[in-house]
Amino acid sequence: MILTRKYAIIYFSLSGFLFLYSCAAIQAPPGGPKDIIPPELVHAVPADGSIYFAGGQVELVFSEYLLESSVEMSIRIQPSLPEPPEIKYRGRTLWINFPDSLAENQTYIISISRDLRDEHNVQLGQGLQIAYATGAEIDQGKISGKIYYEKPAVVHLWKIVEENDLSQFYKRSPDYVTDTDDDGNYLFYYLSPGAYKLLGTDRSFAGLPLDPERMIYGLSWNNIIQLDSVNTKDGINMRITNKPRSIRLVRGEWQSKNWGRLIFSDNISNYEKLLPVRILKDSAVIVSKTFLDELDQNILHFMLRDSVPGGSHIIISIPAVSQGEQTIIDSGKVTIRTPMELDTTYLDIVYPKSGFEIEPEQDRIVPLDIYFSRTMIDSIGKNAVQLFADTTSFPFDIQWLSPLHLQINPMDNWKPRSKFSLVVAREGIFPFFGRSIQDSIQTIQISTTRYKGFGNLIGRIEKPYPQPLIAELIPLEKEQSKQRTVVNSNSEFEISHVSEGKYSLLIFNDLDGIRNYSYGQVDPFRPAEWFQFLPDTISIRNNWDMEITNIQLKQQP
């Protein structure tokens, strides 16, 4: 009995050891290279492309264990079912249970977005589509193209089934949804014959009806995409705007007795002159002048002729600003209460700060801009602002461009790779209210770089092409700016005085004549303008004419 008990203890001890050893043996060793390989679909049961599908369970097996939290949000059935199917998951396998009451002669697609990830959080390399037909054949229609957008994008596709869909399609959830790959390419498979509309948007809006006021989007230049039984439509490209379609008045802020500012949701620099501001106090209209904040072009400043007592309630309203049929700035209204206490802070020179660099140009004198933190009286004392090259005075003229903006224009050009000092005296500059700068003398050290380089781009486009055309250089380096020009009647264009750097070249059909690319709109419906990017990067060099001839445009509208 004692021996039996002894052997039992030994047996269970060895069993426990072997169990622990075996558990440790199946674990991945620590360290090693990070898993960056996307999961792949290994096989599907029933097989992809099966016909006479009557519903029931579909099994999908992947190459790696899946991240459970990514499963449900990544799977859609297209066209959508009255009730979403039951989805189960374990390890590398998904089970999707279709109802047995599917439509006749319909191709159903299991669409798996790139939100699906493996257990190491690596997402799919490209969205998947697995098709099953309830009839004798799988629909073979395809639509493909590329989305030009800086962030992850998704493409929505609607099949036109009734007349109302021609104008109101975007108000319902899309019939088909697919992600773009890392290069912006997309592809819809297994589409039935018919008419379609499609739209590109940010991936965060995948599968949702479109809210034109809140969501960013872009349309194709095709009004309707028509598919027959074996039709393929390639090159249906779209551009998605990076900004909302309309600008909103976000809030108002009172800055002093006669100065306030309006903050908008986006840049208003192109519409400042079109934006009347109506200011009311006790039902009386107050006369004001407005000016743009050049450091933050979402801000419009206003100044009143007379001061307003503290504790007053001011109502400010703006009308809508439209361009053609599109509303650029929504109408808005804000109420501001003027503060009771006075501002006793010191005036600050917001820009430039010490260490500022000027990039001089050989063929023009670059001005030096000074921006203050508070509105200024447009007069200045003698020697209140001085500029020195080392210890030698550097002569200049001054000009007030706004109550916050003083511009210095040197009489001689800046010497490259040199040091300068900007000296501002407290007693010679006068804010409308409050204290001047804290120190009696403020010195800002400035240096210049080498001369800024410029080149020219000259191009010629082969006929035929849609007219009128605009050629636009889009910088690949953020500090550069866009430049555009019209392609003339000789099929030629020239963009001059282009900063050195790398660019992409966009050609687009300027149908509305505003010289800015139009991304299309849904209400009222208007397709986007046709466009094409040249495949090669354009390198602009200093004092160099870059010539591109025999440009051939493809996939024209």
Top-tier CATH class for 249-337: mainly beta
pLDDT digits (tens, 9 = 90+) for 227-283: 987 788 999 999 999 887 789 999 999 998 889 999 999 999 888 888 889 999 888
Q: Which CATH superfamily is domain 454-551 in?
A: Carboxypeptidase-like, regulatory domain (2.60.40.1120)
Same fold, 249-337 and 454-551: yes
Q: What is the pLDDT of residues 101-134, one digit of tens each?
A: 899 999 999 989 888 999 999 988 888 889 999 9
Whether omega before 33 lies within 30 degrees of 0, making that bond cis, reads: no
> Cα(3)–Cα(517) distance, rounded to whole angstroms?
91
State how far the alpha carbon of 392 is from the alpha carbons of 44, 350, 382, 418, in Å: 81, 25, 18, 13
pLDDT tops 90 at residue 317: yes
| Residue 32 banded pLDDT, cuts 50, 70, 90 | low
Span 319-330, pLDDT tens digits: 998 876 678 899
What pLDDT is recorded for position 546?
A: 93
Q: Encoding tokens for residue 326?
A: 């599109």
Average pLDDT over residues 66-74: 88
Residue 183: is its pLDDT beyond 80?
yes
Cβ atoms of residues 526 and 325 within 8 Å: yes
Q: If you count them, how many residues does the chain have?
A: 557
CATH 2.60.40.3710 fits 349-448, yes or no: yes
Cα–Cα distance between 297 and 244 in angstroms, integer? 16
Domain spans, the chain: 41-239, 249-337, 349-448, 454-551
Show the beta-strand stretches assigned E in 295-440: 299-304, 313-318, 321-323, 326-329, 332-337, 349-351, 356-358, 368-372, 376-380, 385-389, 392-393, 396-402, 405-410, 419-425, 429-431
Q: pLDDT category, 147, cuts 50, 70, 90?
A: very high
**The domain 41-239 is classified under which CATH number: 1.20.140.10, 2.40.128.690, 1.10.238.10, 2.60.40.1220?**
2.60.40.1220
Q: What is the residue-wise DSSP string for 121-168?
A: -PBPSS-EEEEEESSSS---EEEEEEEE-SS-EEEEEEE--STTHHHH
The rounded percent of the chain whose pLDDT value lies above 90 is 62
As a whole number of angstroms, the distance between CA 67 and CA 72 comes to: 10
CA–CA distance, 456 with 458 (Å, rounded to integer): 7
Residues ≥6 apart with Cβ < 8 Å to 175: 78, 79, 80, 157, 158, 159
| Confidence at residue 343, expressed as pLDDT on a 0 to 100 scale | 80
Are residues 197 and 160 in contact, defined by beta-carbon separation less than 8 angstroms?
yes
Report the distance separating Cα 357 and Cα 8, nearest Å: 84
